[in-house]
């Protein structure tokens, strides 16, 4: 795929597929804004950088560290809510936010592919009744994805994307 792929759009409400319960909230991008990556059409988990860009009047509600360009993992998958006919991109920023940022602009640069989507991702709302061993496996995989992302982004060639013109200047 032609990395880097730049994405931009307002963060939408998802369908509560258990992101926060797993300690892994994912910011959903609207369909229109994922066209650049949907043409690549390979579902799975990606890594890169992302940045929350609130409107000027909302900036003061965030700490400076929340508005930096941050490492992220992104899941690109067929959305079960639309009978698996619509692709959805969900971005988890590797950072602890104090508050939500629904409606705010999210900018992202996708830099590489980590792994294909696994079956348990599509089981969606069944999560509460799954055996804990399975939920643990899912959490473990997400933790591995985050470590892979952070390691990949250490490579010297990638540092420049943190300063990409696609992102807003914060300092």
Q: How far is the CB of 132 from ligand ADP (least distance, A)?
A: 19
Report d(CA 165, CA 132) in Å as an integer: 43
Binding map of ligand ADP across residues 88-127, x = CB under 6 A, - = no contact: ----xx-x-x--xxx-------------------------
Q: Choosing from 32, 58, 90, 105, which is the catalytic residue?
A: 90
- CB closer to ligand ADP out of 39 and 118: 118
Check residue 27 and report its DSSP letter.
E
Element (H, E) at 68: none
Question: How many angstroms from the chain centroid is the CA of residue 111?
Answer: 12
Q: How far is the CB of 100 from Mg ion (least distance, A)?
A: 11
Binding at 11: pick from ligand ADP, Mg ion, none (beta carbon under 5-8 Å per type): ligand ADP
Residue 27 contacts ligand ADP per CB under 6 A: yes
What tokens were used for 78? 């067929």
Strands in 5-10's sheet, in edge-to-edge order, are 5-10, 105-115, 44-53, 70-78, 87-93, 27-28
Q: Which residues bind Mg ion (CB under 5 A)?
A: 14, 19, 26, 90
């Amino acid at each position: 795929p032609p990395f880097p792929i730049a994405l931009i759009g307002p963060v939408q409400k998802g369908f509560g597929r258990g992101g926060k319960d797993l300690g892994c909230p994912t910011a959903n991008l609207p369909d229109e804004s994922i066209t650049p990556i949907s043409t690549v059409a390979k579902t799975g988990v990606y890594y890169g950088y992302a940045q929350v860009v609130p409107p000027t009047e909302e900036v003061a509600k965030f700490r400076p560290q929340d508005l930096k360009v941050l490492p992220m993992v992104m899941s690109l998958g067929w959305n079960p809510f639309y009978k698996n006919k619509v692709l959805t991109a969900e971005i988890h920023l590797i950072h602890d936010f104090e508050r939500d940022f629904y409606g705010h602009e999210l900018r992202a640069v996708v830099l590489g592919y980590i792994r294909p989507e696994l079956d348990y991702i599509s089981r969606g709302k069944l999560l509460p009744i799954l055996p804990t061993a399975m939920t643990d496996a899912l959490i473990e995989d997400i933790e591995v994805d985050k470590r892979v992302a952070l390691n990949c982004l250490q490579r010297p060639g990638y540092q420049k994307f943190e300063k990409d013109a696609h992102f807003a200047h914060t300092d």
